[in-house]
A and B are shown apart, each in its own frame.
Chain A
Amino acid sequence: MTASPHPVRPFGRRRLVQASVASAFALQFGDRAVMAATGVGDEIRIASEETPYGLDPVHEYSAGYLRSLGVAEGLLRLTAQGDVDVDLAAWFTSDGPNAWRVGLRPDVRFQGGKAMGAKEVVASLERSRALAPFPANLLKGITIDAEGDRVVRFSASRPIPALPQILTDEWLMIHNADAFGPKDNSFDVKVADYTGPFKVTAYNPRVQIVADRNDAYWGETPSLARVVLNEVSDPDARSLAALSGEAHIVRIITPEAASRIQRGRGARVHVIPSTDCAAAYLNIAKEPFNDVRVRQALAWALDREEIVAAAYNGLARTAPSWLGTNVAYPEARRVGYTRLDLTRAGRLLDEAGWTLAPGASIRTRNGRPLAFRLVWWGSGKPSAELIQAQWAKAGAKVEVLGSPDYGYLDGARSAGDWDVFVEGWGTDGDPESTLSRHVAASGDLNYMKFTDPVMADLLKGFETLTEPEDRRIQALHVNQRQADTVPFIPISSRARLNAVSTKVHGYVPHFQWWQYEVHPELWISR
């Protein structure tokens, strides 16, 4: 597969109109009018639930934030439609099943002035691989070599059809490895040397990060002069930051605040089309979940529309099957548990021996009630209580317990003391990797200890598939098998609601929140 080279970003119609208007004003009123018309010289303020924990890409909880601020870039990126596109790369092409070649854009320099060539890209990726577990796993078994100044070759002893998707990962941002040095070097602004349109100029960990325009940026000169990211960890306070107009972009507001903000005229609420899928994970080693009919019954007994409406104010998507939240798999929305079907749920439970005595509300089998615990964490309490009520209609007695603290769930899970818990994970990226984490016997998120020979064969099938469409179809087969065997019950996407000032132009809601929230064409009108 080859992508068309994109040496220069297109000069869009909006920018053309904007520039024309600016020029007219400039002739009439001079430079200040140009600045007023184009927004040049403006500062954008973002309120976020978190700020980067460090400035080094190998530092936990940092990579995505640095990418989102337009500070750092990767070789490739995913478009809002889920397609792989070039970023610092000019092109990429398959070099046989076991190798890829990636051509770099000319004239890219790090913000410190050093030219970014193939050698620097290799050093950056090798540094990430050496210092952080996620990049090490993403690039496991892959050899990275520079071919001349402008081409990087990725090769392995096995087929690596998913390499382009891997290279879009937030962790694989390109940085000046020489400037950062051999260890995690997160707190020195002077060493934070990337290629993005904005350069970090001030950093107060967990409080504020300021990035100024990189005038030597390889692409279009950014319209904005400065990006200021403030940490506002309390969700209600963030909503107030949106209502007061203090922040131009407010990340993750509450659904309750969304309608209030929408009523005002100062900001719009963007529902970010998350590919995350919240699911109820079932402890299939235990009764009653060791019976697939019970799992299927509980999946049919969920009214996902009601959950989306009540728990997310209608601002999420139902997930009839696990890939149903991913824009790249529209077929997955027609697979699995596409509607509430209490009749079918009741029949399956009857078949499994969990019957409802006349006048009783809880099903029993051999005198034991169909009763179990549902653990939530984070902000999952409202949806957990809805699930409790919905499963009660099917004859299950569900005790809901949990905490906003993730440690509570982790503790229960590691002790094996759990029946059902609700958690959400991204469905994007290389389907083989993403799906294997959940349904492969060795998957790190396979808390259910789910094993299934058919599923194992389906996952193994990825090894011989090199074409993206073939892999996508294989992912749909895995998704179908997941829906049939139900080790976990997909529920809905987890909506990410951002409030964006009406003065902000060029904002792109992206399912990967960190993909270019701030980009060169983002601007603010006065």
Chain B
Amino acid sequence: MLRYVATRVVVAALAVLGAVTATFALIHAAPGDPVAIMFGATGGGSQVGASAAQREAIRQELGLDRTWPEQYGAWIARVARGDLGTSFRSRRAVATEMGARLPATLTLGVAAVTVQVVVGLGLGALAARRPGGPVDLATATVAMALVSLPSYWLGLLLLWTFAVGLGWVEVGGAASLPRVILPAVTLGLVMAPTLLRVFRESLVEQRARPHVAFARARGLAPHTVLVHHLARPALLPAVALIGTSVGEVLGGAVVIESIFSWPGLGKYLLDSVLARDYPVVQGYMLFTAVAVVAASLVVDLTHGLLDPRLRTA
């Protein structure tokens, strides 16, 4: 067991290192110089610009005059000391900035996964009751529609309805529980269809398994059959899918947080990518890689709890 855990930890660390290294290479390879962008049309005045000497001084200050391997080595060394560096734009510690935005993204993530689970598992269970029946067809149609809808469009549609039409929510402002509802519903609905279909398929498949028929033949109560012999094994693929939602939430948050002006990490990342704010992008990707790997570990452990065969193995 110890060897298994150690192996998993080493693999996880390598996965994180691979992800952040790839991010470093990609963001540095992307066209655009952070200092040129800083003084370019997005940030320049009309009367004066910055001289070549001033730009070079800033490049040196930000460490951009060093080679890529030197920059990478310096960043890794800083991260090893628990320092994510300083944002080019705000000149604040990346950890401080991410820490300020993390609660908003966590709130959104938890709320979105809740919506995903309620909608996905709920409709999946309803659909599985009678495969091919009207409810199954209706949920399949809803799932297809939700999968086809771009999250951006769905978000605007919800904003239009609830902010403009009904006046129940505000478009902008500080993070608050009422304000998280719409972005969470949007993100949750976008993620729910896959869970719905996976859980539905799993339930249908489990229902046909001999152990379920045997449990019924033993005269067990329908509720007991459903919870212990049907739902529990059917949840296994669904739980794996929910685990991968961490990555989906963090990826989806980039768009959703921008539409809803939700002050989380996603919007922060988008702004930072456009500004070529390398330390922020790298810090965010480190966080994302660690979160996804950790979620994967949690899923593995949960599998063990749900499936006694894995524990025995």
Residues on A facing B (Cβ under 8 Å): 47, 53-54, 59-61, 133-134, 136-138, 165-166, 169-171, 184, 186-187, 204-208, 230-234, 236-238, 240-241, 243-247, 275, 377-378, 405-408, 410-412, 414-415, 423-430, 433-434, 437, 444-445
Contact = CB atoms under 8 A, between A and B. Distances in A.
Given A243-B164, A444-B49, A406 B32 contact: yes
Given A233-B258, A410-B33, A246 B49 contact: no
B31 A237 contact: no
Given A237-B156, A378-B41, A426-B47, 19 more contacts: A47-B171, A53-B89, A60-B43, A134-B50, A204-B263, A233-B267, A237-B260, A240-B159, A244-B171, A246-B172, A247-B171, A405-B274, A410-B36, A411-B32, A425-B41, A429-B47, A430-B47, A433-B48, A444-B52
22 contacts: A54-B90, A134-B50, A138-B48, A186-B91, A204-B263, A207-B175, A230-B173, A231-B172, A231-B263, A237-B171, A241-B171, A247-B172, A406-B37, A407-B37, A412-B31, A414-B36, A426-B46, A426-B47, A429-B45, A429-B47, A437-B49, A444-B52
Given A60-B38, A133-B50, A433-B47, A408 B32 contact: yes
A166 B47 contact: yes
Specify which of B42, B54, B90, B271 lies most central, judged by the most chain A CB atoms within 10 Å of its CB.
B90
Contacts of B89: 53, 60-61
Contact of A169 (B39, B42, B47): B47
Nearest to A276: B46
Interface in B171-192: 171-175
A246 B268 CA distance: 24
Contacts, number: 164
Contact of B268 (A204, A206, A238): A206
A207 B174 contact: yes
A458 B97 CA distance: 49
Nearest to A444: B49
B250 to A, nearest CB: 18
Contacts of B261: 230-234, 237
A408 B171 CA distance: 30
A411 B31 contact: yes
Interface string B217-250: 0000000000000000000000000000000000
A68 B36 CA distance: 25
B54 A136 contact: yes
B41 A423 contact: yes
Contacts of A137: 48-51, 54
B184 to A, nearest CB: 16
Nearest to A46: B172
A187 B87 CA distance: 14
SS of A interface (majority):
mixed
B303 to A, nearest CB: 39
B263 A207 contact: yes
Contacts of B46: 275, 425-429, 434
SS of B interface (majority):
loop
A75 to B, nearest CB: 15
Contacts of B175: 207
B167 interface: yes
B170 interface: yes
Interface string B146-163: 000000000010011001
Contacts of A60: 38, 43, 89
B211 interface: no
Interface in B265-312: 267-268, 271, 273-274, 276
A204 B174 contact: yes
Given A133-B54, A204-B263, A244 B167 contact: yes
Contacts of A414: 33, 36
Interface of B: 30-33, 36-52, 54, 58, 89-92, 97, 100, 156, 159-160, 163-164, 167, 170-175, 258-261, 263, 267-268, 271, 273-274, 276
A336 B171 CA distance: 44
A205 B259 CA distance: 18
B86 to A, nearest CB: 12
Nearest to B271: A206
A392 to B, nearest CB: 27
Contact of A206 (B37, B170, B263): B263
B259 A234 contact: yes
B300 to A, nearest CB: 37
B47 to A, nearest CB: 4
Contacts of B160: 240
A438 to B, nearest CB: 10
A240 B167 CA distance: 11
B260 to A, nearest CB: 7
A237 B41 contact: no
Specify which of A171, A233, A234, A434 lies most central, judged by the most chain B CB atoms within 10 Å of its CB.
A234
Contacts of B170: 244, 246
Q: Nearest 8 pairs between A and B by C-beta? A: A411-B31, A407-B32, A426-B46, A230-B172, A429-B47, A444-B49, A241-B171, A232-B172
Specify which of A243, A275, A378 lies most central, judged by the most chain B CB atoms within 10 Å of its CB.
A243
Contact of A234 (B91, B258, B276): B258
Specify which of B37, B41, B267, B276 lies most central, judged by the most chain A CB atoms within 10 Å of its CB.
B41
Specify which of A133, A184, A241 lies most central, judged by the most chain B CB atoms within 10 Å of its CB.
A133
Contacts of A428: 46-47
Given A233-B258, A236-B156, A237-B260, A406 B42 contact: yes
B97 to A, nearest CB: 8
Nearest to B255: A234
A186 B90 contact: yes
B171 A232 contact: yes
A433 B51 CA distance: 13
B38 to A, nearest CB: 6
Specify which of B91, B175, B260 lies most central, judged by the most chain A CB atoms within 10 Å of its CB.
B91
B63 to A, nearest CB: 18
Nearest to B165: A244
Contacts of B47: 138, 165-166, 169, 426, 428-430, 433-434
A445 B49 contact: yes
Nearest to B160: A240
Contacts of A424: 41
Contacts of A411: 30-33
A136 B100 CA distance: 33
Given A234-B259, A234-B261, A429-B46, A240 B36 contact: no
A61 B164 CA distance: 31
Specify which of A170, A187, A230 lies most central, judged by the most chain B CB atoms within 10 Å of its CB.
A230
A237 B45 contact: no
